[in-house]
A and B are shown apart, each in its own frame.
Chain A
């Protein structure tokens, strides 16, 4: 079992729709969760982080965390073509010094005009 799993996609949504990106993790002791956006040929950009159960909203982005189900998601409202990118879910390992992140393989999102 992979430590962090994401659907690889591609996930295709029409412009203006809600895009829902999902991630599950295997280590129940994990405490910190991150979403990165990566455009093709560019480096990952941190767009959301969440530490507590529930929802965290920032503009059009909402991160949702359910530790009991070991599930974290990212919702993008009013999706725009500029949101087309690969979204990486990352979980901070609770067992290592230095904040090592365990990355999922990423979900490719395509927003169609």
Chain B
């Protein structure tokens, strides 16, 4: 059974058209993360939620926003996607007791 689910798996959007990616988890983990990964690069942390507390990385552009309405769901909003935002977006979850992060399958975003 999938424990961290991301939808959609593939997303095509137009330059400047807002897009929302979703992540859900059945693990009841209290920490959720969003990463951006470009080809042949390491995952880059955008932000994370520790329960309801939002933590933004200092170099995450304002164009990226996130919402976590409850423990199970987390959303990544890209307000005005640029060509440079084309990437794999990864959601991960962890328990605060050990911080072992488990990734979802990712959403591949294409910007045309």
Assuming A42-B106, A43-B104, is B42 touching A99 (CB within 8 A)? no
B44: nearest chain-A partner, CB-CB: A103
Question: In the bound complex, how far is the Cα of B87 from the Cα of A41, in angstroms?
Answer: 11
Assuming A105-B41, A106-B42, is B105 touching A43 (CB within 8 A)? yes
| Interface band, chain B | 20 to 34
Residue B75 lies at the interface, judged by CB distance under 8 Å to chain A: no
A interface majority secondary structure: loop
**Are B100 and A100 in contact, CB atoms less than 8 angstroms apart?**
no
Chain A interfacial residues counted at CB < 8 A: 22
**Are A34 and B106 in contact, CB atoms less than 8 angstroms apart?**
no
Assuming A43-B106, A44-B90, is B101 touching A103 (CB within 8 A)? no
- B74 CB to closest chain A CB (Å) equals 13
Report chain B residues within 8 Å CB of A43: 88, 90, 103-106
Residue B45 lies at the interface, judged by CB distance under 8 Å to chain A: yes
Contact indicator per residue, chain B 29-61, by CB within 8 Å of chain A (1) or not (0)? 001010000000111010010100001000000
Residues in chain B within 8 A of chain A (CB atoms)? 31, 33, 41-43, 45, 48, 50, 55, 88, 90, 94, 96, 98-106, 108
Residues in chain A within 8 A of chain B (CB atoms)? 32, 34, 36, 41-46, 49, 88, 90, 92, 97-101, 103-106
